[in-house]
């Protein structure tokens, strides 16, 4: 009986009521605020208690912007020159090096940020991208509880404290999917803007072709071509040459040797490396995971006309199909969580589904530490389970409107 009761506790998740769902995010936020206040009191200027700059990962785009504004764009891929500017940015000579691993098209997007001092620029960047993140989630599910869940989402916290661009990636991907039906050209432009992080665009053209979104495909292709051409005209061929030369460093040092820490990387590739497997074996595992994710997404697209399930599957699979995926980009999981929760309220939740959504929602809070301290890289498995749940929902679909039928109420 005890085992049965325990299984029912997670199978039906009776503990996850609407009343508690409204209260839990606020409790999380209280903990965040208290922790942030303690952390800031222990910080010294722009340097946190661990000796890192506040918004640590924002230092490399700010420094890259500074170099580009001072007509040295090719220097953003030069370790000593970029590092020297990073020291100036926070006035701290012992700051660790943060590499700029983006193509020159990203320089177009971040060019103005060094017009302000580092702290003010970080604040403006955080407010603008966080607003885009909330607007995207609100567009998916305009309910107050959904907004509170988005604000308190641990993935948002990880991205915010790192000063990263996960909010921007989510806003572009989510915005593109939300506008694809009615404004395909605008959606294509947003897909094209995602080229600043090309590792997350692997499945996008397949998705657009498979669903016959030809206007969006054309708009995305034109946008990428225009961004590349504009960056070439503004920053010069030397900058692009420097970027291509830097790819080997990124691949070998950051990815294959885990320069940032395999626990920070959340891909199947990183899981294999964390367990001590060779680089070749890690690439093989990543290839298998990517293939499974791609096939699952294609099956979901063919199985159902439900666009929410299409979008949730794509948003999950873009994270699974790249070996270079950091924990701050787990904020993108807010998209499939929102779409699946919306479908669950419209129809009914499947068994185990609410518990799975709760687990994935909390995942960014412990994914890195669990991998680092216990050598358990849980993120790839969690995302595969989420994709499997979307496929399970696709099996329930009946009728031309693509809504689910026959789901188990939880």
Asked if residue 15 is part of any domain, the answer here is: no
pLDDT of residue 405 exceeding 90: no
Domain span at residue 219?
A: 40-396
Average pLDDT value over all residues in the chain: 92
Mean pLDDT value of segment 77-102: 93
Is residue 291 predicted with pLDDT exceeding 90? yes
What whole-number percentage of the chain has pLDDT above 90? 79
pTM: 0.93
Contact 150, 156 (CB under 8 A): yes
Render pLDDT for 128-142 as a digit per residue (tens, 0 to 9): 999 999 999 999 999
Among residues 201, 364, 372, 200, the alpha carbon closest in space to that of 273 is found at: 372
Inside any domain, residue 31: no
pLDDT at 402 over 70: no
State residue 4's pLDDT score: 64
Distant-in-sequence, close-in-space partners of 52: CB < 8 Å, separation ≥ 6: 95, 96
* Mean pLDDT value across residues 180-205: 94
Pick from 326, 314, 321: which is nearest to 266 by CA?
A: 326
Burial degree of 294 (CB within 10 A; 0-12, 13-18, 19+): middle
Q: Write the pLDDT tens digit of every residue in 129-179.
A: 999 999 999 999 998 899 999 999 999 999 999 999 999 999 999 999 999
Check pLDDT > 80 for residue 353: yes
Residue-wise pLDDT for 203-240, tens only, equals: 899 888 888 899 999 999 999 999 999 999 999 999 99
- Residues 66 and 75: their CA atoms lie apart, in Å, by 10
pLDDT at 215: 96
Q: What is the pLDDT of residue 1?
A: 44
Domain assignment present for 25: no
Q: Does 5 reside within a domain?
A: no
CA distance 328 to 384: 18
- Rounded CA-CA distance 188/191 in Å is 5
Identify the band that residue 410 occupies on the pLDDT scale cut at 50, 70 and 90.
Answer: very low
Q: What is the pLDDT of residues 363-397, one digit of tens each?
A: 999 999 999 999 999 999 999 999 999 999 999 86
pLDDT of residue 365: 95
pLDDT digits (tens, 9 = 90+) for 7-31: 777 887 888 888 888 899 999 999 9
Q: For the segment 292-349, what is each residue's pLDDT rounded down to a tens digit? A: 999 999 999 889 889 899 999 999 999 999 999 999 999 999 999 999 999 999 989 9
**Torsion sign over Cα 90, 93, 96, 102:** positive
pLDDT for 209: 87
Give the torsion sign (CA, 190, 196, 197, 199): positive
pLDDT value of position 322: 95
- Residue 210 maps to a domain: yes
* Displacement of CA 354 from its chain's centroid (Å): 22
Question: Which phi and psi (to 5°) does residue 265 adopt?
Answer: -70, 140
How many domains would you assign to the chain?
1
In a domain, 356, yes or no: yes
Statement: residue 406 has pLDDT above 60: no
Domain membership flag for residue 284: yes
Query: Would residue 256 count as lying in a domain?
Result: yes
């Amino acid at each position: 009986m005890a085992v049965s009761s325990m299984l029912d506790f997670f199978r039906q998740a009776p503990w996850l009521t609407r009343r508690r769902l409204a209260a839990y995010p606020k409790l999380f936020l209280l903990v965040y605020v208290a922790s942030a206040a303690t952390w800031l009191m222990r910080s010294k200027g722009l340097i946190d208690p661990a000796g890192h700059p506040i918004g640590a990962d924002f230092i490399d785009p700010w420094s890259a912007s500074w170099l580009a504004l001072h007509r040295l764009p090719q220097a953003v891929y030069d370790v000593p020159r970029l590092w020297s500017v990073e020291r100036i940015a926070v006035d701290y000579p012992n700051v660790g090096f943060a590499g700029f691993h983006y193509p020159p098209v990203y320089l177009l997007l971040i060019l103005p940020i060094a017009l302000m001092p580092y702290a003010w620029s970080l604040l403006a960047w955080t407010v603008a991208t966080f607003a885009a993140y909330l607007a995207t989630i609100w567009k998916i599910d305009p309910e107050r509880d959904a907004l509170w869940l988005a604000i308190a989402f641990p993935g948002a916290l990880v991205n915010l404290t790192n000063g990263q661009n996960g909010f921007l990636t989510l806003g572009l991907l989510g915005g593109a999917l939300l506008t694809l039906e009615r404004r395909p050209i605008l959606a294509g432009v947003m897909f094209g803007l995602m080229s600043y992080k090309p590792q997350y665009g692997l499945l996008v053209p397949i998705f657009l072709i498979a669903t016959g979104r030809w206007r969006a495909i054309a708009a995305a292709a034109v946008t990428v071509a225009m961004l590349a051409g504009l960056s070439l005209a503004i920053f010069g061929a030397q900058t692009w040459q420097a970027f291509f030369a830097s790819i080997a460093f990124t691949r070998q040092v950051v990815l294959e040797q885990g320069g940032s820490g395999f626990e920070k990387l959340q891909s199947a590739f990183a899981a294999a490396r964390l367990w001590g497997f060779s680089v070749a074996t890690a690439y093989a595992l990543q290839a298998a995971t990517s293939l499974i994710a791609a096939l699952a997404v294609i099956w979901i697209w063919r199985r159902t006309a439900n666009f929410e399930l299409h979008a949730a599957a794509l948003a999950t699979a873009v994270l699974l199909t790249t070996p270079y995926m950091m924990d701050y980009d787990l904020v993108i999981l807010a998209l499939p969580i929102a779409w699946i929760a919306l479908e669950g309220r419209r129809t009914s939740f499947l068994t185990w589904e609410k518990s799975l959504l709760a687990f994935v929602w909390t995942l960014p809070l412990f994914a890195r530490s669990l991998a680092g301290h216990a050598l358990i890289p849980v993120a790839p498995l969690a995302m595969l389970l989420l994709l499997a749940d979307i496929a399970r929902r696709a099996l329930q679909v009946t009728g031309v409107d693509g809504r689910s039928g026959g789901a188990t109420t939880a």
